[in-house]
Structures are given as structure tokens and as C-alpha cells.
């Protein structure tokens, strides 16, 4: 309880709660980590919608279990990528989404989509970019024989896994690691840094200058 001297104004700091839209095609463990971070108050925001291009994506079930609105959009109903993306954008706009989070979303976004949500789309990649972009990064890593890999959260631009880097976390690659065992190790770190990056965005602390992302110190 606050004891106020009469006439003193109580200034309560207003927290901005961003609306998050998640795009996911698969099992959705990153989505799960984000759902939990929101519940625990580690992210000042709410997941307003989860959209999938895959009707059977377990990500959709996870969202439903937490009473989060979902939408499956079948790309076969659209002639071109941009047309499909326009339908997604329509849904995101209806939900007033501030940040688009790609969580295992397996479709390439059109330039149109990237420009509508410029610097408001983020992705997580299971390698230390710019090394090993593209599909099956963990397999590429194991086959190449590097000793350290990890994960990267980055803004999405028009290239493949090439946008400005927000956060990275390294893991050691052991001699006996397989694609699967490495993926599992990396995934644990993904579940930590993805919610952290979303919270930094929500706090307005990510400043993009050219290729670089600067993280502003928290204002007191
Ligand atoms: C993760 O490895 C992520 O890095 C990549 O796709 C995978 C998605 O996994 N972009 P999940 O669906 O979040 O479990």
C-alpha cells in the first residue's frame, strides 16, 4: 500500500503490451517457450494469433490448449506467394500485430510481406549465422566438423537467414554429436534466447543501424 501526501499524483509506469503474431509450420517448441514466457510475465505482450500453413502442425494444438486464437491458411488456395502472404497480413492486421515471430515457419516470405512489416519480423535459426544458413543447419554443422555452433535470433530481410542479428548463443559440438543430438542441445538455448529477444523488442530496446542491432540499456 502506498501512503501518498494529499495532492501528490501517483504515477504508475505504463507498460506497453505488444501484440505478437506467430507463424509456425511444425511441432512448435519455440512457440511453447514463448507462451510460457508470456505467462510468467517475462514478455510484456500477448500472442494474438498463431497462423500455420500446415493444418496438422502441433503448434496449432499448443496454441489452442492455451486459448490462443489460431488460423490455418492453405497455400493451395492461392495462385502466388504474394497473394497468400496478403491473406496472412490481413489476419495479422485484424489482430493488430506489432511483431511477427517466425517459429519453425517453413515458407519463404514475399518481399511484399517483408516490406509491410519492415523490421518487425524476427526468426530463429539453429546455427551461428552467418555460418550455415538454410535448411538442416545442424546436419551441415556436423558434416563440416566445426567445434562450436548455436542459435541466432535475427530480423528477417529479403535474403535467406541474412537479416541483422539480435541475439546468439553458442553450444559446443562434441565428436559424437549427430544432427539430432546437436539439434536437441541447440533447441534448449533457442527456448531461452527467443523469448529474451521478443522482450527486448517489446521494450523498444532494439536499434537497427545498417547490418547491426544495438541493444539499448534499460532506462531506470
Ligand atoms: C527450430 O530449430 C528453429 O531454429 C528453426 O525451426 C525449428 C523449429 O522448431 N527455425 P519448433 O517448431 O519451434 O520446435
Grid cell digits, residue 109: 516470405
Q: Which of 215, 101, 130 is nearest to 167 (CA)?
A: 215
Element at 38 (helix H, strand E): helix 29-39
pLDDT in tens, 122-141: 999 999 999 999 999 999 99
Annotation says 125 is catalytic: yes
* 11 Cβ contact partners less than 8 Å away, ≥ 6 residues apart: none
Atom 14 of ligand 1, nearest CA residue: 29
Of the pLDDT bands very low, low, confident and very high (cuts 50, 70, 90), residue 1 is very low
Are residues 48 and 35 in contact, defined by beta-carbon separation less than 8 angstroms?
Answer: no
Distance CA 172, CA 146 (A): 9
Question: What predicted TM-score, i.e. pTM, was given to this entire model?
Answer: 0.93
Name the active-site residue from 66, 125, 154, 191. Answer: 125
The pLDDT of residue 13 is: 58
Asked whether 18 lines ligand 1 (CB < 6 A), one says no
How do 70-72 and 99-102 pair as beta strands? unpaired
- Determine phi and psi for 217, rounding to 5 degrees: -65, 150
Are residues 125 and 163 in contact, defined by beta-carbon separation less than 8 angstroms?
Answer: no
The pLDDT of residue 219 is: 74
Amino acid at each position: 500500500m502506498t501512503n501518498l501526501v494529499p495532492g501528490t499524483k501517483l504515477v504508475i509506469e505504463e507498460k506497453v503490451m505488444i501484440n505478437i503474431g506467430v507463424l509456425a509450420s511444425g511441432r512448435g517448441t519455440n512457440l511453447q517457450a514463448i507462451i510460457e514466457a508470456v505467462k510468467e510475465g517475462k514478455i510484456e505482450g500477448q500472442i494474438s494469433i498463431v497462423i500455420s500453413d500446415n493444418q496438422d502442425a502441433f503448434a496449432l494444438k499448443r496454441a489452442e490448449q492455451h486459448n490462443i486464437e489460431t488460423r490455418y491458411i492453405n497455400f493451395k488456395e492461392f495462385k502466388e506467394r504474394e497473394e497468400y502472404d496478403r491473406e496472412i497480413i490481413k489476419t495479422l492486421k485484424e489482430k493488430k500485430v506489432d511483431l511477427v515471430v517466425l517459429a519453425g515457419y517453413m515458407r519463404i516470405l514475399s518481399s511484399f510481406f517483408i516490406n509491410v512489416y519492415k523490421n518487425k519480423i524476427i526468426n530463429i535459426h539453429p546455427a551461428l549465422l552467418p555460418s550455415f544458413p538454410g535448411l538442416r543447419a545442424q546436419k551441415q554443422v556436423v558434416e563440416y566438423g566445426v567445434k562450436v555452433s548455436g542459435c541466432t535470433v535475427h530480423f528477417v530481410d529479403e535474403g535467406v537467414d541474412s537479416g541483422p542479428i539480435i541475439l546468439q548463443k553458442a553450444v559446443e559440438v562434441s565428436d559424437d554429436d549427430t544432427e539430432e543430438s546437436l539439434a536437441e542441445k541447440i533447441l534448449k538455448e533457442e527456448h531461452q534466447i527467443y523469448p529474451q529477444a521478443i522482450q527486448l523488442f517489446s521494450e523498444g530496446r532494439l536499434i537497427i543501424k545498417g547490418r547491426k542491432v544495438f541493444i539499448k540499456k534499460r532506462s531506470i
